């Protein structure tokens, strides 16, 4: 199976739809597959087991249904997550009951924290056994209640089609998020007449999509008075596909923009009004701007503590406006003066019709000077490979046109700092939950959605080992992800904290005994390369780019490198340690 | 930290109580009492939740509740004049000689005796929480063998105002 024929479909979409909509007497499993196809699902990621065997049996020989077998349920859900983040469509994963379902938990929490639309299908034991502590039974609805947007236990096959329709609707509208559907084994085998519900009726679910115009006017009036305004743009801009509207808004109002980790790419990094990322490892310019702003406009950003740091001292002089689709985010962490509950794109469209510039030219000049005075920088070396240099090298070769997935830790922050993101959805990273193990499998999902695009997965040596088994999936399906390991033989971010905060008491961070990553890749049938110098790095990277299939490149980098600038916990954004960049 | 009585109209679905109670727990909101029963609308149940918090907390409670797909309406009843009632059953030690005295207390509170045992009485009292607390205090000297309270149910007085969603 090559990656191309995973996505390709022989008949036209209309023909397929008519065939699928036929009201036959079919089993729950067939209803599931048909409904997923009718929802436009191109590929699902999963792992079979006893409770989903009827579902997998229905897939057998089914030419319409594309399923990618991962090597762990965590790999499946992170792949579905990458698929969803990079396309904006709903990602789908399937796992069996009990341990299969609980192996999804980390991935569900990851998607929930970052508002990623997923539909997670889990099998469960037969309805007659539910509650009896049967073999491989787990109350996955109860377990995942705090980390799903909604969940369903389907007790009657007649409810199945409607439930799946509702799940897709809930996952992909309003503030997006994961929805879980638990299907008992007998339900997946019961037969009923398939009727696809054309409409969805959820009277208690009414997300607010359009802004209150008076509030938007208030915001515009505040902008015209502002002398030192700042836009804080988050993942909501990317998810609402509102990048173009944000650029127009910033340019019309003449307001500098800082993008959070999940907002990177939502505003082009080369733009004169862009200040970099804010927060714990943000740029001096972005943090200075936040602390000295007289008007702060948060757009699809939720004032995460990694951005605000000590809340009491955050943006102390600013009047705060907050545009968010989730009313519960408004006022949750920071008191808000001008709330705008709306889809970000709709709010910006409305604002752009009447937006006038702020009195910000002096402020922009000041920001430009700061950007020049305090660029991100590191002490380069000719003796050892610096991780920042590796990221810069990758950034230069792709010119911002690749999809980048990262794992979590130092390398993630270096990617955020040194990779020049131009396009929305080009950075796929676990922000809210900070899930190690996310980076590599999520790239598989991204590549499945974008078979012809360059997909680069950047990982640390720690996170790479948390889902390394998915190398098999890349090899066997020829998924040509370029897998980068920034290998410092240590849990880098933990080491950095232990150095700075715990008096260099390096407790349990030494990853000696890690596998030889080149050999590990080769053992799975993936090309493996290693680089320890700049020269080797350039050559290896070029070889990787030229190779048509998956490649793992082990960049052996300096061990003691820290991520700077840094604001320590409990400090305000003014109190930055500049470290090597000073 | 004012006491708030919140009415939450929810879909009558399995697991909804767990969703609501779980939300309170994990967001660090306090629950003093929670009662659930059917409402005037078929398919919807009404939960009455008694909680404590400042205005900011109450705003978050309401907003977070609205995030649940099964929640149709959230109203802070204590924001307007309301009737709040709780029911208690109190099994009190009552030797025959003490009974007239106990019955006197019961009458004063317009409570009623719903069971008579050889040396116990079950007293049923309905009222606001303070009244029940007072009743319990007065019955303590006779020896409370068993006590059960329902938690508060409540509604606003007169016509329901149009609530903002």
> CATH number of the domain that B20 lies in?
3.30.70.260
Residue B133 inside a domain? The answer is yes
Nearest to A327 among B10, B15, B66 (CB): B66
Count of the separate structural domains present in chain B? 2
Look at residues B43, B61, B80 and tell me which one is the last residue of a structural domain.
Answer: B80
For A343-355, the pLDDT digits (tens) are 999 999 999 999 9
| pLDDT confidence of residue A14 | 86
Spatial CB neighbours of B137, under 8 Å, sequence gap ≥ 6? none
| Mean pLDDT, rounded, for B53-80 | 95
Mean pLDDT score of chain A, rounded to an integer?
96
Q: Are residues B106 and B43 in the same domain?
A: no
Helices within A93-134 (DSSP H only): 99-102, 105-113
**A131 contacts in chain B (CB < 8 Å):** none
The contacts of residue B37 (CB under 8 Å, 6+ apart) are: B45, B46, B153
Positive or negative torsion for Cα A240, A244, A247, A249? negative
Considering the domain boundaries, does residue B161 fall inside one? no
Number of inter-chain CB pairs under 8 A, A vs B = 41
Please give, rounded to a whole number of angstroms, the shortest distance from the CA of A268 to a CA of chain B.
32
| Residue A68 confidence (pLDDT) above 90 | yes
Instruction: Summarize pLDDT for A217-276 with one digit per residue, the tens.
Output: 999 999 999 999 999 999 999 999 999 999 999 999 999 999 999 999 999 999 999 999
CB A530: neighbour CB atoms within 10 A?
Answer: 18
Query: Cα dist. A469→A5, A71, A103, A429 in Å?
Result: 23, 6, 14, 19
Which contiguous run of DSSP H or E holds residue A438? Answer: none
> Which among A142, A175, A204 is the nearest to B18, CB-wise?
A142
Cβ–Cβ below 8 Å for A145 and B64 = no
The answer to whether the Cβ–Cβ distance between A149 and B69 falls below 8 Å is: yes
Cβ atoms of A154 and A95 within 8 Å: the answer is no
Q: Beta-strand (E) ranges in A185-302? A: 191-193, 229-233, 257-259, 295-299
Alpha-carbon B113 to chain mean position: 21
| Alpha-carbon radius of gyration of chain B | 19
Residues B45 and B114 in one domain: no
Asked, for residue B105, whether it belongs to a domain, the answer is yes
pLDDT tens track for A282-331: 999 999 999 999 999 999 999 999 999 999 999 999 999 999 999 999 99
> CA A528, CA A550: separation in Å to the nearest integer?
9
ipTM of the complex: 0.91
Pair (B17, B52) in one structural domain: yes
Over residues A138-145, the mean pLDDT reads: 97
Residue A390 confidence (pLDDT) above 90: yes
**Confidence label for A2 from pLDDT (cuts 50, 70 and 90):** very low
To the nearest whole percent, how much of chain B has pLDDT over 70?
A: 96
Cα A529 to Cα A533: distance, rounded to the nearest angstrom:
13
Per CB-CB distance under 8 Å, the chain A contacts of B60 are 328, 331-332
Among candidates A390, A463, A462, A378, which has minimal Cα distance to A429? A463
Residues of A in contact with B72 (CB under 8 A): 203-204
pLDDT value for A5: 45
The CA distance from A58 to the nearest CA of chain B, in Å, is: 29
B76 and B32 within one domain: yes
Instruction: State phi, psi for A457 to the nearest 5 degrees.
Output: -110, 115
Q: Is the peptide bond before A565 cis (omega within 30 degrees of 0)?
A: yes
CA A327 to chain B, closest CA, distance in angstroms equals 6
How far is residue A143's CA from residue A135's CA, in Å, rounded to a whole number?
17
pLDDT at A6: 46
Q: Using CA atoms, how far apart are residues A89 and A80, in angstroms rounded to an integer?
A: 10
Q: Is the CB of residue B90 less than 8 Å from the CB of residue B23?
A: no
- Average pLDDT score over residue span B10-32: 94
**Of B58, B80, B102, which one is at a domain's C-terminal end?**
B80
Domain end among B80, B115, B137: B80
Which has the closest alpha carbon to A49: A91, A103, A1?
A: A103
The radius of gyration computed from the CA coordinates of chain A, to the nearest angstrom, equals 24
Q: Using the beta-carbon criterion (under 8 Å), do B66 and A326 form an inter-chain contact? A: no
Phi then psi dihedrals of residue A15, to 5 deg: -60, -45
Q: Which residues of A are catalytic?
A: 73, 135-136, 185, 493
Record: contact B15-A145, CB cut-off 8 A: yes
* pLDDT over 70 at A9, yes or no: no
Does B142 map to a domain? yes
Check whether B162 has a pLDDT greater than 70: no
Q: Which residues of B touch A332 (CB under 8 A)?
A: 60, 63
Interface contact B27, partner A, CB < 8 A = no
Confidence of residue A15 (pLDDT cuts 50, 70, 90): confident
Minimal-distance CA residue of chain B relative to A148: B68
pTM attached to this predicted model: 0.95
**Chain A residues with CB-CB distance to B10 below 8 A:** 204
Residues 69-108 of B with CB under 8 A from A: 69-72
Supply the pLDDT for residue A16. 87
Q: Are residues B123 and B150 in the same domain?
A: yes
Q: Is the CB of A146 less than 8 angstroms away from the CB of B22?
A: yes
Which of B22, B60, B70 has its CB closest to that of A204? B70
Please check the confidence at residue B159 and state whether its pLDDT lies above 70.
Answer: no
Q: Residue A7 pLDDT more than 80?
A: no
Q: In what order do the strands lie in the sheet with B44-53?
A: B33-38, B44-53, B2-11, B71-76
Phi, psi of A213 (to 5 degrees): -65, -35
Whether residue B39 is found in the same domain as residue B53? yes
Residue B19 lies in a domain: yes
Residue B162 lies in a domain: no
Per-residue pLDDT at A389 exceeds 50: yes
Is B149 in the same domain as B93? yes
- Are the beta carbons of B15 and A203 separated by less than 8 Å? no
B72 shares a domain with B6: yes
Q: With CB atoms and an 8 Å threshold, state whether B69 touches A145.
A: no
Q: Chain-centre distance of CA A518, in angstroms?
A: 27
> What is the domain-level CATH number for residue B97?
3.30.70.1150
Whether residues B111 and B145 share a domain: the answer is yes
Cross-chain residue pair A202–B66, CB shorter than 8 Å: no
Q: Are residues B87 and B39 in the same domain?
A: no
Q: At A580, is the pLDDT very low, low, confident or very high (cuts 50, 70, 90)? A: low
Give A464 or A10, the one with higher predicted confidence: A464
Q: By C-alpha distance, which of B132, B53, B45 is closest to B85?
A: B132
Percentage above 90 pLDDT, chain B: 94
The answer to whether residue B160 is domain-embedded is: no
Q: What integer pLDDT is reported at residue A1 of this predicted model?
A: 41
- The residue length of chain B stands at 165
| Test the B interface: residue of A141, A179, A205, A207 with most B CBs within 10 Å | A205
Q: Among candidates A72, A13, A76, A12, which has minimal Cα distance to A43?
A: A76
What is the domain range of residue B57? Answer: 2-80
Q: pLDDT-based confidence at A487, cuts 50/70/90?
A: very high
My answer on whether B120 and B53 are in the same domain is no
Q: What are phi and psi of A301, to 5 degrees?
A: -130, 145
Reply yes or no on whether the pLDDT at B77 is more than 90: yes
Reported as half-sphere exposure (CB side, CA atoms, 13 A), residue B8 has a value of: 31
CA B15 to chain A, closest CA, distance in angstroms equals 8
Q: How confident is the model at residue A531 (pLDDT cuts 50, 70, 90)?
A: very high
pLDDT at B160 over 90: no
> Using an 8 Å Cβ cutoff, are A369 and A513 in contact?
no
Q: What is the pLDDT of residue A579?
A: 84
Instruction: Give the closest residue to A467 by CA, choosing from A42, A55, A73, A157.
Output: A73
pLDDT of residue A293: 98
Cβ–Cβ under 8 Å, residues A295 and A266: no
In this structure, the number of other CB atoms found within 10 A of the CB of residue B81 comes to: 9
Q: Tell me, yes or no, whether B76 and B92 share the same domain.
A: no
Residue B134 covered by a domain: yes
What whole-number distance in Å separates Cα of residue A270 and Cα of residue A272?
6
Quickly state the pLDDT bin for A4 (edges 50, 70, 90): very low
Cβ separation B69–A332 shorter than 8 A: no
Its sign, for the CA torsion A200, A202, A205, A209, is: positive
Cross-chain Cβ contact A328/B64 below 8 Å: yes
Q: Which residues lie closer than 8 Å to A15 by C-beta, 6 or more apart?
A: none
CB B80 within 8 A of CB B94: no
CA distance A295 to A253: 12
């Amino acid at each position: 199976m090559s990656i191309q024929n995973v996505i390709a479909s022989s008949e036209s979409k209309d023909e397929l739809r008519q065939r699928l909509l036929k009201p036959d007497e079919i089993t729950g499993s067939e209803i599931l597959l048909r409904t997923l196809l009718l929802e436009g699902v191109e590929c699902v990621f999963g792992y079979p087991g006893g409770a989903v065997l009827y579902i997998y049996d229905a897939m057998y020989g089914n030419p319409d249904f594309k399923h990618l077998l991962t090597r762990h349920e965590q790999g499946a859900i992170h792949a579905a997550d990458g698929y969803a983040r990079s396309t904006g469509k709903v990602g789908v994963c399937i796992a069996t009951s009990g341990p299969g379902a609980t192996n999804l938990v980390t991935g569900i929490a990851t998607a929930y924290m970052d508002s990623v639309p997923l539909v997670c299908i889990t099998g469960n034991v037969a309805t007659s056994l539910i509650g009896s502590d049967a073999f491989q039974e787990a109350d996955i609805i109860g377990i995942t209640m705090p980390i799903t947007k909604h969940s369903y236990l389907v007790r009657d096959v007649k409810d199945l089609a409607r439930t799946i329709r509702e799940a897709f609707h809930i996952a992909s509208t309003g503030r997006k998020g994961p929805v879980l559907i638990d299907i008992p084994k007998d339900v997946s085998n019961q037969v009923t007449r398939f009727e696809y519900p054309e409409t969805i009726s959820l009277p208690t679910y009414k997300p607010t999509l359009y802004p209150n115009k008076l509030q938007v006017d208030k915001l515009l009036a505040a902008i015209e008075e502002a002398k030192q305004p700042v836009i804080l743009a988050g993942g909501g801009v990317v998810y609402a596909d509102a990048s173009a509207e944000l650029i127009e808004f910033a340019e019309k109002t003449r307001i500098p923009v800082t993008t959070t980790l999940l907002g990177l790419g939502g505003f082009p990094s080369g733009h004169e009004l862009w200040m970099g990322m804010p927060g714990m490892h943000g740029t001096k310019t972005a943090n200075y701007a936040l602390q000295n702003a007289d008007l702060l406009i948060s757009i699809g950003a939720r004032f995460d503590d990694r951005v605000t740091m000590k809340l009491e001292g955050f943006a102390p002089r600013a009047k705060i406006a907050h545009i968010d689709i989730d009313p519960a985010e408004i006022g949750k962490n920071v008191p808000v003066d001008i709330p705008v509950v709306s889809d970000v794109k709709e709010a910006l469209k409305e604002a752009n019709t009447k937006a006038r510039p702020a009195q910000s030219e002096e402020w922009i000049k000041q920001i430009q000077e700061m950007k020049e005075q305090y660029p991100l920088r590191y002490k380069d070396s000719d003796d050892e490979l610096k991780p920042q240099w590796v990221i810069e090298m990758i950034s230069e070769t792709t010119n911002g046109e690749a999809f980048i997935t990262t794992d979590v830790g130092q390398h993630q922050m270096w990617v955020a700092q040194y990779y020049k993101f131009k396009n929305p959805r080009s950075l796929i990273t676990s922000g809210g939950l900070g899930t190690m193990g996310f980076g590599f499998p999520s790239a598989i999902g991204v590549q499945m959605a974008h078979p012809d695009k360059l997909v680069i997965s950047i990982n640390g040596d720690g996170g790479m080992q948390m889902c390394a088994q998915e190398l098999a999936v890349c090899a066997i399906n020829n998924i040509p992800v370029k897998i980068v390991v920034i290998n410092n033989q240590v849990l880098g971010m933990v080491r950095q904290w232990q150095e700075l905060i715990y008096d260099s008491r390096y407790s349990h961070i030494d990853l000696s005994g890690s596998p030889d990553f080149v050999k590990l890749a080769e053992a799975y049938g993936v090309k493996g390369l290693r680089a320890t110098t700049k020269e080797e790095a350039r050559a290896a990277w070029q070889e990787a780019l030229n190779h048509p299939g998956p490649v793992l490149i082990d960049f052996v980098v300096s061990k003691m490198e820290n991520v700077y600038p840094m604001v320590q916990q409990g400090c305000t954004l003014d109190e930055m340690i500049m470290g090597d960049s000073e | 930290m004012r006491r708030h009585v919140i009415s939450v109209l929810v879909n009558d679905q399995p697991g909804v109580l767990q969703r609501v109670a779980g939300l309170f727990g994990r967001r660090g909101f306090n629950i003093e009492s929670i009662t659930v029963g059917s409402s005037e609308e078929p398919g919807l149940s009404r939960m009455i939740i008694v909680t404590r918090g400042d205005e900011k907390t109450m705003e978050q409670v309401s907003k977070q509740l609205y995030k649940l797909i099964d929640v149709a309406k959230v109203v802070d009843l204590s924001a307007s004049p309301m009737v709040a009632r709780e029911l208690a059953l109190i099994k009190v030690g009552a030797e025959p000689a003490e009974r007239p005295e106990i019955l006197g207390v019961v009458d004063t509170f317009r409570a009623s005796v719903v069971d008579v045992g050889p040396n116990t009485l079950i007293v049923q009292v309905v009222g606001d929480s303070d009244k029940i607390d007072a009743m319990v205090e007065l019955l303590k000297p006779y020896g409370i063998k068993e006590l059960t309270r329902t938690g508060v149910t409540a509604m606003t007085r007169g016509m329901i105002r149009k609530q903002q969603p």
